């Protein structure tokens, strides 16, 4: 049975992720401006890393290959994948640090700027081309939604190591 999804189409779902993570970056920057303690910044940074990781994965598994096949702009998709690789490297660095560490805030803020630029390119180029193509973006929203839920339910190895694993 097809699950009802609260998004118009794949682009709508992906852009809702973008807005959600942007709100988290704004929150992180505000905490830095307020000289908030590390204990307050850490969970926001953790959430940013986790959400971006899931978002990049559903794009790479489902959305990007479909757009590449439908649109045929390999250079555009290769560039987007390179930006994902750069973001993943930054996320790994951040996950290897603690919010109290020197340079932590700057690393998260730099990631926020890189994501802003990547999202702008997605909106102005990839999303636009996807909507102009013959892709079934409504059907794809369901696939993206289901995979996202599956990934969010999976306990990431790094997080499992840090926290005590609840039964």
Chain residues that interact with Fe ion, rule: CB under 5 A:
59, 122
Burial (CB < 10 A; 0-12, 13-18, 19+), residue 81, is middle
The length of the chain is 167
Q: Please identify, using beta-carbon distances, which residue of 31 and 130 lies nearer to Fe ion.
A: 130
Task: Give min distance, CB of 97 to Fe ion, in A.
Answer: 23
Q: Please identify, using beta-carbon distances, which residue of 9 and 59 lies nearer to Fe ion.
A: 59
Task: Give min distance, CB of 128 to Fe ion, in A.
Answer: 13
Task: Give min distance, CB of 166 to Fe ion, in A.
Answer: 31
Which two three-digit tokens encode residue 63? 């959305």
- Rounded to whole angstroms, the Cα distance separating 36 from 89 reads 26
Three-state secondary structure call for residue 100: coil
Task: Give min distance, CB of 111 to Fe ion, in A.
Answer: 13
Q: Please identify, using beta-carbon distances, which residue of 85 and 159 lies nearer to Fe ion.
A: 85
Q: Please identify, using beta-carbon distances, which residue of 5 and 31 lies nearer to Fe ion.
A: 5
Q: Please identify, using beta-carbon distances, which residue of 106 and 117 lies nearer to Fe ion.
A: 117
The number of C-alpha atoms within 13 Å of 44 and in the hemisphere containing its C-beta is 25
Q: Are 136 and 76 in contact (CB under 8 A)?
A: no
Task: Give min distance, CB of 127 to Fe ion, in A.
Answer: 9
H-state helical runs in 59-136: 64-71, 74-95, 104-121, 127-132
């Amino acid at each position: 049975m097809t699950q009802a999804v609260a998004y118009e189409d794949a682009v709508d779902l992906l852009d809702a992720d973008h807005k959600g993570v942007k709100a988290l970056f704004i929150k992180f920057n505000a905490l830095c401006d307020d000289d908030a303690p590390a204990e307050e910044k850490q969970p926001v940074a953790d959430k940013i890393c986790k959400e971006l990781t899931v978002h990049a994965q559903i794009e790479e598994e489902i959305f990007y290959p479909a757009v590449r096949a439908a649109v045929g702009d390999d250079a555009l998709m290769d560039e987007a994948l390179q930006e994902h690789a750069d973001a993943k490297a930054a996320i790994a660095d951040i996950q290897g640090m603690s919010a109290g560490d020197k340079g932590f805030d700057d690393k998260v803020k730099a990631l926020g700027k890189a994501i802003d630029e990547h999202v702008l390119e997605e909106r102005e180029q990839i999303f636009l081309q996807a909507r102009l193509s013959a892709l079934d973006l409504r059907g794809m929203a369901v696939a993206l939604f289901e995979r996202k839920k599956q990934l969010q339910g999976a306990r990431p190895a790094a997080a499992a190591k840090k926290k005590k694993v609840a039964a």
